[in-house]
Chains A and B, each alone.
Chain A
Amino acid sequence: MTEKNRDQDFLQTSDQHLPVSSKVSPTPFVKPLPDRIILNSVWSGLDRKAGAIIEFTARQLRVRASTWVIGTVGLMLMLLLLATYAEAMVEGIDPVDDDGDSEDWDEDGYPLGQERKWGTSDWNSAEFPGSGVFVSDEWLNWNQADHTGNHTYRGNAVITSYTWIGSPPNSQNKGWAQVGNFSDCTEYEEEYDLQIGRSCLTSDGDIRFNGLIQVNGTVGVESEKWYQYLEWGEFVGASDIPIPQDPRSMYIDEDGFDIDVASGETSQGFDDDGDCIRDWDIISSRTSNPEFIWEDYFMSDSNRNGIDCDVELVFDREGNLISIEADNMVDEDPSEDEFVLESLHRGFVLAVGKVAFLFLLGIFIPLFLATGLIRDEMASGTMYYLIGKPIHRAEFFIYRILGFMSISAPYMVVLALLVGLVTSFIGPGDSLFRFQDLTVWLIIGITAALVLLAYSATFSALGVISKKFGIYIAMVMGVWEFIMAFFSLLTSGQSKIAWLSVSHWGLEMVNSAALIAWPDSGYYDIIGSGLFNSSVVFSIFWNEPVIVPGSPIGSLLVSAFFLIFYIGVWVLIGQSFLGRREID
């Protein structure tokens, strides 16, 4: 351009519209350097651009204080959980008397389990094994005043006439009223009550008694004294030799599970301690009416399957265990070390996998770190450094998320490995290392990664959709996911509303993993929630996969595909909005 031309150009203002070409300087001569790379299209050298942005994003996250705060909080949470777990495992579980039969409620020195076997009451200190028991045949009706006959009576009543009176010799039962050398009743005793085992002569010459007594005569109650009663029957089971008292510890963990789900047998279980079967021969020999002893005589077949003292296993058509119904007092007091510890261990693995990895870390790490992946760059004005390059914005969106994943996914994997290794080493079992748990941890890791990816894609896209409100919408979504996660957990995945959340599908994957690694999960779940109330941890944190019933692998794959689909949709949404977003 000559000076003259320039002068002329200067005089031309925009009001004088000129063809653009007339103002164009001579086309620049560009001499490319030998090693210069000019990309044919933005879709060239993707690997290098991806590597650069992923690395850049990872470094950017590493220098942010919030990354370290969240990472430290997550680590501390895991260490705290591990410490609690290790304490439980190392100290073991104190034996628990699940059926309560080690108690001695009447304080007669015989625990409930022993009294139960002997058919004596643990609520009556006068009665105990060997003391014999009164078995009622008949009682005085409300319109009757007295009864005549030769019986063993029990009551708080009056003997108006008798030909013979007595009590069995050497009976240890403290319920027998004293006979012979009757003293006069006090005014109070005549008017009101007597102590158990006491008898006395009234001013009318009758004999008042409270307790057991053998009489051949007429016995009755005074109509105006409401507290008096009378029944007659037999006294059976008394032993001349005192029965030794069993130690209470004998009735703790004395009736473990004798069930083998894999056998497929429907009637299983064994009454190890004999408190269901009891010794009916002994009891029958003591009374002609054994059905009237104090326990419900139906207890031996309370599951009504026609088999006494068994455990009935109910399977569906596919052979899955769906229910366990035990007769009373069968397999009711297992060893805590055998069942509870295993149940606790599995419950811990699933609780940590679901609550700590999926709910807490899975939601909060992306919420705090991924929402600003794009939004913060736009807000701070540094975005153009990254996208003012031959790189498509759609690419950029993906690379940023991958950069986030390059920090968060290894963090999750390391945490999962840490918890997985510790629990597999110190968990219950005969082997040194619980290899079967690795499957669960592996799938927990994969699920955590998918959930992280799903949330990071969602929250990043929300940050792009609205620079101002994106974070708030993300927070609302985070809360929704958190609530749905617990909702899905509490409804065992049955709630269809919870299906509208990422967390439900993550939980489904973990449930499937548990069933793959521990095929007897159903057994632990049913026992835990149904028969054995002291161990429900596993039942709370596990439920049968519901997406493809009966097929844990099917449920796992469907859930994983759903999450991948969900991630794809949000990535497309984020890319679309970023592609159209103006960057001031």
Chain B
Amino acid sequence: MIPDPEQVGNHSPASFQVDQSVPAVMLDHVSKWYGQVIGLNDVSLAIGGGVTGILGPNGAGKSTLFKILVGRLKPSQGTVRLFGIDPWRNPAPYSRVGYVSEGEKLYDWMTGHDFVSTLARLYGFTRDQASARADHVLEFVNLSDVAHKQIGKYSKGMRQRVKIAHALVNDPDLIILDEPLQGCDPVARTTIMNVIREIGAMGKTVIVSSHILSEIERITEQIVILHNGRLLALGNLHAIRGMLDKHPHRILLTTDSPRELAARTLVVEEVHGVRFPLPEQLEIQTNDLNAVHSVLPSLITSSGLRVSSIQNPDDNLESLLAYLMEGRA
């Protein structure tokens, strides 16, 4: 092999036929131990098509799962297949995979365009092809105007987007995004979420992890829940929402007159009870969160009482996990 530093020649692409019967990702009884610590515990899973959210608190095994998928880690037990191929033994499937890790480290001395186009050449693209593709994906993630600035000068959201751009440059069939929204401001989150949705709409398989339920909810309905390295559940997020709604929920209001407001809310049929956790707080207990939320604004307005905040402490991943764990028990 003689290196081709110019890389301007025409490449005749060798077509890799997609096996329609094989899912993009398949794990069969996969476990991973770090010494005495278990990272992933007997996980069996198949994913293909659309956006799938991997939900789990920190330490649930999301990153371990991704690292196994992209061949960074070797599973201690079980079988992993990317497009039917073991990624630990053979990196060939990476030609169809884009991966964004949770780490923030980038080559700060490179420009965004350099970064994306240089790494694109590792897929076998010529220099010109790689450059054109870099332009394309940087535009897709809304970074065209800063493409030739050094990455070191990028904001956190830009850094995440350039990582996503690099993962898209090979037009992958499978995109794995590990906590892509972590640390981003609201504007960047919205942009990245839109990007992920668009990719999903293009028919790609996208796997995106997060430990924030509301984030995943805005991106996809298909979720996988991991907890303590185990696969807790997988399926549709709407369904889980429905299940949660049938479970006791709390609504926490901060007001100057919690008792007065409590008297007014207790007339609502769906309200089961109230508590006063703090002198200025009212906790409403209900089984039908949506029904209470639909009447709450008019009730507050008509009462003329001042309410400074309304929170749903149970509408988060922890509550979801607690519920699921309860169900398992």
Contact = CB atoms under 8 A, between A and B. Distances in A.
Given A3-B238, A51-B5, A384-B101, A14 B94 contact: no
A269 to B, nearest CB: 57
Interface residues of B, number: 84
Interface string B262-278: 00000000000000000
A24 B15 CA distance: 25
A389 B123 contact: yes
A20 interface: yes
Contact of A49 (B110, B122, B166, B171): B122
B300 interface: no
A37 B122 contact: no
Contacts of A32: 15, 171
B43 A38 contact: no
A63 interface: yes
A385 B3 CA distance: 20
Interface string A14-27: 11011011011111
B3 A389 contact: no
A27 B22 contact: yes
B291 interface: no
Instruction: Kindly state the interface size class of chain A when it binds its partner.
Output: 35 or more
Given A6-B238, A28-B24, A584-B67, A46 B1 contact: yes
A496 interface: no
Contacts of B259: none
A385 B115 CA distance: 10
Contact of B118 (A3, A56, A387): A56
B157 to A, nearest CB: 19
B70 interface: yes
Contacts of B2: 47, 50
A143 interface: no
B4 A47 contact: yes
A9 B236 contact: yes
Interface stretch (B47-55, B282-290, B306-314): B47-55
B245 interface: no
B235 A7 contact: yes
A26 B118 CA distance: 34
A388 B235 CA distance: 29
A468 B232 CA distance: 36
A452 to B, nearest CB: 18
Interface string A35-49: 111111110111111
Given A13-B232, A20-B44, A27-B48, A388 B94 contact: yes
Nearest to B73: A582
A367 interface: no
Residue of A1, A21, A25, A41 contacting most chain B CB atoms (<10 Å): A25
Residue of A25, A27, A37, A44 contacting most chain B CB atoms (<10 Å): A37
B91 interface: yes
A53 interface: yes
Contacts of A33: 171
A392 B18 contact: no
Contact of A389 (B94, B105, B231, B240): B94
Interface stretch (B6-14, B184-192, B248-256): B6-14
Contacts of B90: 42
A402 interface: yes
B71 A44 contact: no
B203 interface: yes
A381 B91 contact: no
Nearest to B16: A38
B46 A24 contact: yes
A382 interface: yes
Contacts of A385: 107, 119, 166
B12 to A, nearest CB: 9
Contacts of B106: 382
Interface in B126-157: 126, 129
Contact of A10 (B49, B70, B123, B239): B239
A384 B70 contact: yes
A186 to B, nearest CB: 98
A235 to B, nearest CB: 90
Contacts of B234: 9-10, 12, 23
A384 B91 CA distance: 12
A389 B91 contact: yes
Contacts of A52: 7, 118-119, 121-122
A25 B49 contact: yes
A390 interface: yes
Contacts of B242: 7
A390 B121 contact: no
A70 to B, nearest CB: 18
A501 B26 CA distance: 49
Contact of B42 (A12, A14, A393): A14
Residue of B50, B95, B101, B122 contacting most chain A CB atoms (<10 Å): B122
A582 B123 contact: no
A402 B5 CA distance: 12
Contact of A35 (B13, B91, B110, B166): B13
A223 interface: no
A28 B171 contact: no
B4 A48 contact: yes
Contact of B13 (A27, A37, A50, A380): A37
A50 B122 CA distance: 8
B298 interface: no
A46 B2 CA distance: 8
A262 interface: no
Nearest to B13: A37
Contacts of B94: 388-391
Given A32-B171, A35-B129, A45 B23 contact: no
Contacts of B1: 46-47, 50
Given A9-B234, A39-B16, A42-B90, A27 B101 contact: no
Contacts of B103: 381-382
A204 B234 CA distance: 140
A280 B107 CA distance: 86
Contact of B46 (A15, A23, A582): A23
Interface string B219-255: 0011000000011111110111011000000000000
Residue of B16, B26, B106 contacting most chain A CB atoms (<10 Å): B16
Contacts of A53: 122
Contact of B235 (A12, A24, A46, A391): A12
B74 interface: yes
Given A39-B14, A39-B123, A54 B166 contact: no
Residue of B6, B46, B129, B204 contacting most chain A CB atoms (<10 Å): B46
Contacts of A382: 103, 105-107
Given A7-B242, A26-B48, A37-B123, 10 more contacts: A20-B26, A20-B46, A31-B203, A39-B124, A40-B14, A44-B14, A47-B1, A48-B7, A384-B70, A584-B72
24 contacts: A1-B222, A3-B236, A3-B238, A6-B238, A8-B235, A10-B233, A10-B235, A20-B23, A20-B46, A25-B48, A25-B222, A26-B49, A37-B11, A37-B129, A39-B14, A45-B11, A45-B124, A48-B125, A51-B4, A52-B7, A56-B118, A381-B101, A384-B70, A389-B123
Interface of A: 1, 3, 6-15, 17-18, 20-21, 23-33, 35-42, 44-56, 59-60, 63, 380-382, 384-393, 399, 402, 582-584
